[in-house]
C-alpha cells in the first residue's frame, strides 16, 4: 500500500477544502459524510494537519476547518509528509538503513528513479492544482 488510509483521507479532505469558494470553516462532520470517512478518525488526521499549519480550525458553532495557507503553496508532498512521514520519499525499498549511492542495495537502481519522480511530482503539484482540476473536470474525490 502506497499511502495509509489516514493519508488518503487527509488528501481527500484537503482537496475538498481547497475547492471551497470562500474561506469559511467547514465542519469535519460534513467532510466525513461527503466521502464516507469515519468521523472521529478524520478528526485525528485533520488535527495532524492543523498542528502542521496546513489546516486551521476553530471550535464551537460555525466552527470547523479550512486551509491554513494559500492552496498554491500547499503541495501533495507536504500533506503526505505530515501524515505518513517522508519515509516513502527517502527510504530504501528493502528497508535497509541509509539508502544512498554509497551503499546501494540491489533494488536501488530500480527504485531510486521512481522514488525521485514520485517526490518531484508530489512537490510540483499543489492543492490548488488538484482542487481546480477537480472542479473544472468534475472529478470524483470520493465514492
Partner DNA sequence: CAAATAACGGACAATTTTGTCTTAATTACA
Partner DNA sequence: TGTAATTAAGACAAAATTGTCCGTTATTTG
CA distance 14 to 10: 6
Name which position in 51, 107, 123, 128 contacts its own copies (CB under 8 A): 107
Smallest separation, CB 24 to DNA (Å): 10
Write the DSSP symbol of residue 40. H
Nearer to ligand FES, 45 or 99 (CB): 99
Name which position in 20, 34, 47, 52 contacts DNA (CB under 7 A): 47
Name which position in 22, 60, 62, 95 contacts its own copies (CB under 8 A): 95
Q: Considering the rule CB under 6 A, would residue 111 count as an interface residue with ligand FES?
A: yes
| Count of residues that bind DNA according to CB under 7 A | 27
Q: Considering the rule CB under 7 A, would residue 46 count as an interface residue with DNA?
A: yes
Q: Considering the rule CB under 6 A, would residue 96 count as an interface residue with ligand FES?
A: yes
Q: What is the phi/psi pair of residue 64, to 5°?
A: 150, -150
CA distance 125 to 86: 16
Q: Is 82 exposed, middle or buried (0-12, 13-18, 19+ CB in 10 A)?
A: buried
Q: Considering the rule CB under 8 A, would residue 100 count as an interface residue with its own copies?
A: no
Nearer to its own copies, 58 or 139 (CB): 139
Cell matching residue 74: 500547499
Cell matching residue 10: 487527509
Cell matching residue 23: 474561506
Q: Considering the rule CB under 7 A, would residue 63 count as an interface residue with DNA?
A: yes
Amino acid at each position: 500500500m502506497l499511502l495509509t488510509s489516514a493519508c488518503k483521507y487527509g488528501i481527500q479532505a484537503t482537496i475538498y477544502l481547497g475547492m471551497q469558494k470562500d474561506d469559511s470553516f467547514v465542519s469535519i462532520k460534513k467532510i466525513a459524510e461527503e466521502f464516507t470517512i469515519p468521523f472521529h478518525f478524520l478528526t485525528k488526521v485533520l488535527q495532524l494537519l492543523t498542528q502542521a499549519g496546513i489546516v486551521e480550525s476553530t471550535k464551537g458553532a460555525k466552527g470547523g476547518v479550512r486551509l491554513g495557507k494559500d492552496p498554491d503553496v500547499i503541495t501533495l508532498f507536504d500533506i503526505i509528509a505530515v501524515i505518513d512521514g517522508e519515509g516513502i520519499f527517502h527510504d530504501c525499498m528493502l528497508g535497509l538503513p541509509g539508502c544512498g549511492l554509497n551503499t546501494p542495495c540491489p533494488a536501488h537502481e530500480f527504485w531510486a528513479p521512481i522514488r525521485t519522480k514520485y517526490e518531484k511530482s508530489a512537490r510540483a503539484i499543489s492543492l490548488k492544482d488538484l482542487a481546480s482540476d477537480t472542479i473544472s473536470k468534475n472529478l470524483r474525490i470520493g465514492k
